[in-house]
Structure 1
Amino acid sequence: MRIVQEWKMAVQFLTRLPWPEKPAAEPAPFDETAFVRSVRWYPYVGLLIGGILVGLSHLFFAFLPAVVAGVLLVIAEIAVTGGLHLDGLMDTADGLLSGRDRERKLAIMKDSRVGAMGVISFVCLFALKWALFTTAGPHFPGVLLLMPAVGRFAMVWAIAHYPPARQEGMGVALAGRVPVAQLLGTGMVLSLPLILWQVKGFVVLCVCWLVFWWFTRSMVRSLGGLTGDTYGALCELTEAVFLLAATAILAR
């Protein structure tokens, strides 16, 4: 029962997929402990998202030109996730690229309005994913399957290893509260690229790790820690790097 509750919380938090529930007289109180434990399921929710993308890829590329199918895949991913991590990416871009001091950067990131840097980061990411989905979709379904899982594992690793930048918010609720056993359990998804692509899979993961390490170190130096927005930015960045590296390496 506890596992089902954790899985449900992970799916409901990371996606907009419907979850059948019995009507209740009043909503149940928020269970923070279960919310923290649900983090271990994030990469496996990523596999669920990837499975949906693979299924849609077969449908789109069978009936539509590749360019159109690639756009629809990007839109489908946004629809499934509700744009949760894209919002974090745009807020992070607005803050980090503002050129202000730490406190002002955090204030900008907390603002619900999107600035120029946020819009630019969204357009660049959309264009990159569109091009890579168009290329990878019909030829490398394993890339589409694993991309969301690797991105969400990056989130879990960041949650477990880096301090929060604020004294309130999602970063405080989660940061440093993921036990090693849970981290090892989520890391099982990283064995899949190795199983599918052997040495090439290892090279892809190494590229992702180097970019992830550089970006997290940069954010911690700039902000003093990580926030919920930066977790989303890390997820999106890792997905894009995984797509780019896998498409380039597997095509050789």
Structure 2
Amino acid sequence: MRSIVREWRMAIEFLTRIPLPQSGQADFDENAFIRSVRWYPYIGLLIGAILAAFSYVFFTWLPPHAASVLLVIAGIVVTGGLHLDGLMDTADGLLSGRDRERKLAIMKDSRVGAMGVIAFVCLFALKWALFSAVGKHNPLLLLMMPAIGRTAMVGAIAGYPPARQEGMGVHLAGRVSSSQLALATSVLILPLLFWQVKGFVIICICWLAFWWMARIIARSLGGLTGDTYGAICEVLETVFLLTAVGVLL
């Protein structure tokens, strides 16, 4: 039980900016960090519950467009913009038109280029519009959105080699066991329970989007990186919302 609590703590500290009391354990445990990956989709449910609560408050007291913008900002605050940073770096590298090594170097650069800014603006605008459509009366969509994105992250970590010999990808890629992957992906049972056949359709479309995106990135870079994990998470969140709004609403 203590090890599971530590894994949850590591996952929350890595994926969010939710303040936690000091644990008194200063040493980094790489094995626990690897095992914590299996809890990423469930940390996504936690993030989704927070967003659903914010949504109820924002849409109760504010006009829909203002509430939607604040909800997007709330998501950035809760996660610290971790995955958006990965999205922007990935866009700068992949869309640069350079060779593999130069793409990886661009992604490693802390500065944001034009493609990164364009990707951020497009995703922000699309989430804003989708949150306006969801409103406060569909909390299950907000609950599942971050979970779907982080399930895609686990799939990317488990299924693709690292593109570099250093960084997050090297520590995690290919080191997620089948049992850990099964536990992580079991969160996908929830859309089936919530929406039955429509939930199955949504999952299938999200899976196709994940497969296409991960394959394109892996072909271009020779594998995946920590930045691309974040990009996949952000894009799959948006694909889920877009599909769910189209299918359910």
- Same topology, TM > 0.5: yes
SS in 2 for 1:56: helix
The match for 1:160 is 158
Q: 2:55 aligns with which of 54, 57, 71?
A: 57
The match for 1:169 is 167
Distance 2:167 2:225 in 1: 7
Matches of residues 49-128 of structure 1 in structure 2 within 5 Å? Answer: 49-128=47-126
Q: Which amino acid aligns with 2:210?
A: F
Matches of residues 26-37 of structure 1 in structure 2 within 5 Å? Answer: 28-37=26-35
Distance 1:137 1:19 in 2: 30
Matches of residues 123-162 of structure 1 in structure 2 within 5 Å? Answer: 123-162=121-160
The Cα of 1:137 is off from its aligned counterpart by: 2.6
The match for 1:4 is 5
Residues 108-135 of structure 1: per-residue CA shift (max 9 Å, x gap) = 0000000000000000000000000111
The Cα of 1:138 is off from its aligned counterpart by: 2.3
Q: 1:182 aligns with which of 177, 180, 183?
A: 180
Q: Which amino acid aligns with 1:14?
A: L
Distance 1:115 1:169 in 2: 21
Q: TM-score, normalised by structure 1?
A: 0.97
SS in 1 for 2:242: helix
The match for 1:245 is 243
Distance 2:142 2:135 in 1: 7
SS in 2 for 1:164: coil
The Cα of 1:205 is off from its aligned counterpart by: 0.8
Distance 1:189 1:65 in 2: 33
Query: Is the Cα–Cα contact under 8 Å of residues 15 and 80 in structure 1 kept in the other structure?
Result: yes
Distance 1:115 1:133 in 2: 27
Q: Which amino acid aligns with 1:4?
A: V
Query: Is the Cα–Cα contact under 8 Å of residues 148 and 237 in structure 2 kept in the other structure?
Result: yes
SS in 1 for 2:220: helix
The Cα of 1:140 is off from its aligned counterpart by: 1.9
Distance 1:132 1:140 in 2: 12
The match for 2:22 is 21
Residues 11-52 of structure 1: per-residue CA shift (max 9 Å, x gap) = 000000000125x5xx62211111000001100000000000
Q: Which amino acid aligns with 1:85?
A: H
Q: Which amino acid aligns with 1:71?
A: V
Distance 1:21 1:103 in 2: 40
Provide structure 1 residue ranges, at least 5 long, that are not aligned to the other structure: none
Query: Is the Cα–Cα contact under 8 Å of residues 164 and 170 in structure 2 kept in the other structure?
Result: yes
Residues 96-117 of structure 1: per-residue CA shift (max 9 Å, x gap) = 0000000000000000000000
The match for 1:213 is 211
